[in-house]
Structure 1
Amino acid sequence: MKKLFNLQWLSVLILALVLVGCGVKEDVKKEEASKEDQKVEETSYKVTDDRGVEVEFDAVPKTVVSLQPSNTEILFALGVGDKIVGATDFDTYPEEAQKIERVSDSVKFNSERILALNPDVVIAYTTGNDETLTALKGLEDAGIKVFAIQSATSFDDVYGDIQQISTVMGIEDKGEKLKKDIKAKIADVQAKVKDVEKLKNVYVEISPKPDIYTPASGTFQQEILKAANVNNVFADQQGWAKVSEEDVIARNPNVILTTVNYVEDPAAEIIARDGWNSITAIQNKAVYYIDTDISNRPGPRIGEAVELIAKAVYPELFK
């Protein structure tokens, strides 16, 4: 009887242990689930865009639509270009960007196609005008997260864009490194041109005859020219200045740079212009084409843009 009692007692003990064990497992599961929920809450974050809108993300975006070439370049430079599922017709750099589906011509975008792609976020741009903001609101009303960035007009704006995008993508450390790399590139170029005693006078043409336009003060290009230690002959003007042939001839630049890429041999066209043969740059054939995407795009290649200008104007310092 005692043996039987011991066996019965042992069975009860084992059953109790099993039940307690199950209870412990349930408690562990609940605790783990709670930690997981807390982890999800911790990954939720907010970033303020250039409209002043606080955009909330429950998790780091896995798919992105980019509506501006410079922002696409930033995403690739940050190492997350593979997350882009929609881009503009002008997203040509890097080469991988050319394979992304086109959803915009950089002015208007295909809302239906963007909705069909259902990205985690649309990184858009804004110039502050009502038409752009209205179009973006249409995407938001349809349930798409939109993060709008104002078009950069200075190096600091570019650094700010990189910071914002890297925060949205949850890679702030990579954003900081990219900014440091760009600044180091610019500093390296400036070290080569800092001892130039007499700055060369430079004219930059972004639109040819008959409507000639040049970047003046208050433009992104002016900051590039200044960083390259050259004198913009139209720095006394503001914004995108329309100038006459007589204006250019009178200012007699030492070097002429053109970013025009839609005419055949733009440098040769400038050299051959009637009445321009009195200009020092024409006489010395110091007229050069500068890659329009690098020099006009406020993105992660601004260091290269400064180097392009400096090399064209002071080639002897880069041998």
Structure 2
Amino acid sequence: MKKTLQFSWISMLLLTLFLSGCGVTDDSASKDNKDTNKADKAYTVIDDTGKKIKFDKAPETVVSLQPSNTEILFALGQGKKVVGVTDFDDYPKEAKDIEHVSDSVNINTEKIIALKPDAIIAYTIGDETALKPLEDAGIPVFVIKSAANFDDVYGDIGQIAKVMGVTDKGNKLVKDIKSQITSVEEKVKTLDEKEQTYFEISPAPEIYTTGAETFQQEILDTAGIKNIFDDQKGWVKVSEEEIVKRNPKAIITTATYTEDAVGEIKSRKGWEDIDAVKNDDVHLLDENVMSRPGPRIGEAVELAAKTVYPDLFK
């Protein structure tokens, strides 16, 4: 991509903020969708806009307009059916080789129509007219509101499984994710005290962290980790002075686009007295695992817990 690293960060932060603000599960839609789709006969599924979409049979080809939904499709064993993705789809590795049809905001309508997909897994992107040309072309467009919490992720998996005619696989996937998370919760509940931790999303000079009511906060809470900025809401710009004052015992960062993120943090002037720096408890975690509301949320919880509490996983 012809973008600088800083531009890429700002763009993705704003995109994440926008997408994560609208994860709502439609209980009535979930009820109506129950047991409606069989791969060998026509079925109807209701998307998050309340639109009923009829499928004569399970889609053989599909376009995904959000990386987390692409991951869900692959986790459901539907990866070979995906013919179009966004510029940011990089997991699993096979997704990198699929035709790019969107930068996650702008959609290449002509390219998608040329692919002749049986279905499009889209999301609410603000401009409701952006998807209309695809619908006018006769392509079923199934819209999913981006997940803001774990329950939303489970709902997204269920919806996509229904669209693809693999409801049983969706149920199993959700069960497996919950089992992985439960395993971590069983370990961290033995802790006498939660580790005071600072989670850095964007490095200096524009330092951002995560606060309450974010997807990352749910990961930390589930992993038994105390976020030192959980008294604030959303994605928060913070000063170095405030971080030093709060003196975290551990530091985790997802600034994977910065060269030697851990070394940069440890070398910051005035940070040498922070307990996490003194004890070499500063860690770089996979940005996509820790931010995408998809099938790897169990992995995210386990990764965070293992990083902060390694002794619990020996």
Which TM-score band applies after superposition, normalised by the shorter structure? 0.7 to 0.9
In the other structure, the counterpart of 2:269 is 274
Q: 4+ residue stretches of structure 1 with deviation over 3 A?
A: none
User: Match for 2:271: what amino acid?
Assistant: W
User: Match for 1:229: what amino acid?
Assistant: G
Higher alpha-carbon deviation: 235-244 or 158-167: 235-244
In 1, the alpha carbon distance for the partners of 2:89 and 2:132 equals 24
Residue 151 of structure 1 and its aligned partner are, at CA, apart by 1.1
1:29-178 equivalent positions in 2, closer than 5 A? 43-127=41-125, 129=126, 131=127, 133-178=128-173
Deviations 1:94-130 (A, max 9, x none): 1211121111111212111001001011101115x2x
Residue 74 of structure 1 and its aligned partner are, at CA, apart by 0.4
Equivalent position SS for 2:202 = coil
CA RMSD of aligned residues (A): 1.4
Residue 247 of structure 1 and its aligned partner are, at CA, apart by 1.7
1:149-228 equivalent positions in 2, closer than 5 A? 149-228=144-223
Equivalent position SS for 2:277 = helix
In 1, the alpha carbon distance for the partners of 2:145 and 2:54 equals 19
Higher alpha-carbon deviation: 208-217 or 151-160: 208-217
In 1, the alpha carbon distance for the partners of 2:264 and 2:239 equals 16
Comparing both structures, which one devotes a greater share of its residues to helix? 1
Deviations 1:42-68 (A, max 9, x none): 822211111222222121111000011
Report whether the alignment pairs 1:317 with 2:277.
no
Equivalent position SS for 2:122 = strand
In 2, the alpha carbon distance for the partners of 1:105 and 1:252 equals 38
In the other structure, the counterpart of 1:264 is 259
Equivalent position SS for 1:206 = strand
Residue 245 of structure 1 and its aligned partner are, at CA, apart by 1.0
In 2, the alpha carbon distance for the partners of 1:189 and 1:143 equals 45
Where does structure 2 lack aligned partners over 5 or more consecutive residues?
1-37
In 1, the alpha carbon distance for the partners of 2:225 and 2:147 equals 22
Residue 203 of structure 1 and its aligned partner are, at CA, apart by 0.8
The two structures have a TM-score, normalised by structure 1, of: 0.84
The two structures have a TM-score, normalised by structure 2, of: 0.86
In the other structure, the counterpart of 1:232 is 227
Residue 142 of structure 1 and its aligned partner are, at CA, apart by 2.2
In our comparison, the structure showing a higher alpha carbon Rg is 1
Higher alpha-carbon deviation: 166-175 or 55-64: 55-64
Query: Which of the pair has the greater relative contact order for Cα pairs under 8 Å at 6+ separation?
Result: 2
In 2, the alpha carbon distance for the partners of 1:53 and 1:210 equals 45
Deviations 1:2-54 (A, max 9, x none): xxxxxxxxxxxxxxxxxxxxxxxxxxxxxxxxxxxxxx9x8222111112222
